[in-house]
Structure 1
Amino acid sequence: MQKNENIVITGAAGFIGSYLVGYLNSLGYENLILVDDFSAEKKVHNYTGKKYLHKVHREQFFEWCEHHPGSVQYVFHLGARTDTTEMDYNVHKKWNVDYSKQIWELCTANNIPLVYASSAATYGNGEHGYKDDNDIVSQLHPLNPYGKSKNDFDIWVMEQKHMPPFWAGVKFFNVYGPNEYHKGRMASVIFHAYHQIKKNGSVKLFRSHNPNYKDGEQMRDFVYVKDVASMCIWLMQNQPKSGLYNVGSGKARSFKDLATAIFTTLNLEPNIEFIDTPEDIRDKYQYFTEADMSKIMKAGYNQPFTSLEEGVRDYVTNYLEHEAYF
């Protein structure tokens, strides 16, 4: 990836996409083409002050490419409908399947390397583990329409005979960090817990409805957005074997650990209350996720992963306390 080559980032006004834009800027990459629906006022701060060549509305992107042949050298396709509470599959299908197919075909036809966002939501309850194995994709059972749409695209990818010169489907686990301020209910637990603690001096976590887990000991692979950007860029720069790659920390931590890390950062005694998990997500709730990170590490990725405590400290101290953006 050369500094004078043009890089497309879809979802560039969103959480991970805008962070990736800032991260690329920090490495000296400014030939960026930002693709998104830029009409949402709440996302404006995510790309204000960033350095880029063009801003293209997602509905006009393919037409723009026709009028600018040869203008794109790399694509990070991070744009998606990410609302896990949206139960209408067709809403997810439009952006997570059909639009992604168009991106794939564009990259294939023009010989453009592609990194696209899949999701750990594809793993469902983890009956088949959390291993980024291309061969088990058709056996996975996601728990909601969002996860199904992401897995349906992965399945479609596996069936393709024609493909980009390099592709990686990155399975994001529980990502947290700056630039997620606009996400509302879908923002990370860390974001919501911080605001609860600042307002009430306490935090509410979901009670366990599974006898195998005590309250607050449900576990997730929480991954700091800085590590996510680092892995995405590494994949594009190094282009190991094409395929699916987990993007997590490789270490499951409990929600209790997470809350305690926030209290510690704020120099407060932990004060945790438990509430029932909302019924609309209760039967689709994951109690444990942990990324198997061996594939990307065997491919040569050797950067240390940010611990939950380090990530929370950085996020709270340098961003949430000042409502700062990256």
Structure 2
Amino acid sequence: MGDTNFALGRLDRASTFYVAGHRGLVGSAIWRNLENEGFKNLVGRLSSELDLKDREAVFAFFAETKPRYVVLAAAKVGGILANSKFPVDFLSDNLRIQVNVLDAARVHGVERLLFLGSSCIYPKFAEQPIREDSLLTGHLEPTNDAYAIAKIAGIMQIQAVRRQYGLPWISAMPTNLYGPGDNFSPEGSHVLPALIRRYDDAAKNGSDSVTNWGSGSPRREFLHVDDMAAACLHLMENYDGPSQVNVGTGSDVTIKELASMVADAVGFKGNIEWDANRPDGTPRKLLDVSKLAKAGWSSSIGLEEGIRTTVDWYRANLESIRH
């Protein structure tokens, strides 16, 4: 194992900090949080300025900027439809992004790095709540297995760097995220932004009822992206271990409860109906967050409050958001 003198603790607010994917839902929240925490030298590049799939360009960027800290939040992401139709893209693009950034970060002496994955890395039928040690114990969900395998490879590379070079690099796996900067498009959005758009439209149009897919009985966990950003910095300053860390709230709600919260937040007064002929998906998906709690962090933004502020953001940015 390589020798290092890097001690855990408070990150130097004056050092160069590169946020890969700084315009995405997670990356933009991390950027906001770092600014609020007093970091003075944040670096980000649009994909049009730096293609992370281009190995030569990535190495040149690291040689030029020499970041001391890195959060790797850049990824090719999409919903079930996109993952099912383009598995090669999700596997190849994400592997290249990860390998290029992680290799360049190691060569150019990045002290602390956090790699962001997704809860889809876990087996489809993992015991609930899902613990970190359930990784690689069963079959993946077939609709996004290519993306999941890429993210698992990222975790493995972090662990390999720790073993071979002794660097205190870490991985974090968030649950379902939502908040400012989310994707509200009808085809590409996840359940919470989709509900916000649907109910806001219904409220504006004076609709009598809204019909949602499925029975409303599946349970899901939701974490505000600003909480996720705060957790990332906390882990970089307080956690040093080979295992990925689940980041969530440790509690979940039914989709039916979620729909009611969204209806209240947008002021929709009509009926909420359910089409039970439509698929429900996995009955429950909840992360065990005891490792995160042991590291000294827990979420602070309640779901109802988070939905209200996200609705406000959605309405204020209706002209410019992804839809």
Instruction: Give the alignment's TM-score, normalised by structure 1.
Output: 0.80
**Structure-1 residue corresponding to 2:232:** 232
**Structure-1 residue corresponding to 2:34:** 24
Q: Does residue 33 in structure 1 map to residue 43 in structure 2?
A: yes
Q: Kindly indicate whether the alpha-carbon contact (under 8 Å) linking 1:107 and 1:164 is maintained by their aligned counterparts in 2.
A: no
Corresponding letter in the other structure for 1:91:
D
Deviation of the 1:196 alpha carbon = 1.4
**Structure-2 residue corresponding to 1:45:** none
| Deviation sequence 1:9-47 (CA, Å, 0-9, x none) | 111121111121122222222311113414xxxxxxxxx
- For 1:166, what is the secondary structure of its paired residue? coil
Corresponding letter in the other structure for 1:206:
W
- For 1:64, what is the secondary structure of its paired residue? helix
Equivalences for 1:155-194 in 2 at 5 Å?
Answer: 155-158=156-159, 161-163=163-165, 165-181=167-183, 185-194=187-196
Corresponding letter in the other structure for 2:194:
H
- For 1:61, what is the secondary structure of its paired residue? helix
Deviation of the 1:130 alpha carbon = 4.3
Instruction: Give the alignment's TM-score, normalised by structure 2.
Output: 0.81
Give the Cα separation in 1 of the matches to 2:295 and 2:249. 16
Regions of 4+ moved over 6 Å: none
Q: Kindly indicate whether the alpha-carbon contact (under 8 Å) linking 2:220 and 2:286 is maintained by their aligned counterparts in 1.
A: yes
Corresponding letter in the other structure for 1:314:
T
Equivalences for 1:286-297 in 2 at 5 Å?
Answer: 286-297=282-293
Deviation of the 1:79 alpha carbon = 0.6
Deviation of the 1:198 alpha carbon = 2.3
- Residues 94-103 or 2-11, more deviating: 94-103
Give the Cα separation in 1 of the matches to 2:166 and 2:16. 16
**Structure-2 residue corresponding to 1:210:** none
Alignment equivalent of 2:308, drawn from 294, 300, 313: 313
- Closer, same or farther in 2 for the Cα pair 1:254/1:108, shift >3 Å? same
- Closer, same or farther in 2 for the Cα pair 1:182/1:315, shift >3 Å? closer
Deviation of the 1:288 alpha carbon = 0.9
Show structure 2 runs of 5+ residues with no match.
Answer: 1-10
Q: Kindly indicate whether the alpha-carbon contact (under 8 Å) linking 1:12 and 1:21 is maintained by their aligned counterparts in 2.
A: yes
Deviation of the 1:190 alpha carbon = 2.3
Deviation of the 1:238 alpha carbon = 2.3
Q: Kindly indicate whether the alpha-carbon contact (under 8 Å) linking 1:265 and 1:316 is maintained by their aligned counterparts in 2.
A: yes
Task: Count matched residues.
Answer: 294
- For 2:102, what is the secondary structure of its paired residue? helix
**Structure-2 residue corresponding to 1:153:** 154
**Structure-2 residue corresponding to 1:2:** 12
**Alignment RMSD, CA only?**
2.7
Show structure 1 runs of 5+ residues with no match.
Answer: 39-54, 208-214
**Structure-2 residue corresponding to 1:251:** 251
Alignment equivalent of 2:69, drawn from 67, 70, 74: 74
- Closer, same or farther in 2 for the Cα pair 1:132/1:165, shift >3 Å? farther
| Deviation sequence 1:45-91 (CA, Å, 0-9, x none) | xxxxxxxxxx74434332221344xx211110001111143233321
Deviation of the 1:101 alpha carbon = 2.2
Give the Cα separation in 2 of the matches to 1:7 and 1:126. 38
| Deviation sequence 1:254-301 (CA, Å, 0-9, x none) | 1111111112223333632334687xxx69x32211111100111222
- Closer, same or farther in 2 for the Cα pair 1:20/1:197, shift >3 Å? same
- For 2:196, what is the secondary structure of its paired residue? helix
Q: Kindly indicate whether the alpha-carbon contact (under 8 Å) linking 2:251 and 2:286 is maintained by their aligned counterparts in 1.
A: yes
Structure with the greater relative contact order (CA < 8 A, sep ≥ 6): 1 or 2?
A: 2
**Structure-1 residue corresponding to 2:122:** 123
Deviation of the 1:183 alpha carbon = 6.0
- For 1:243, what is the secondary structure of its paired residue? coil
Corresponding letter in the other structure for 1:296:
L
- Residues 19-28 or 245-254, more deviating: 19-28
**Structure-2 residue corresponding to 1:261:** 261
Corresponding letter in the other structure for 1:294:
S
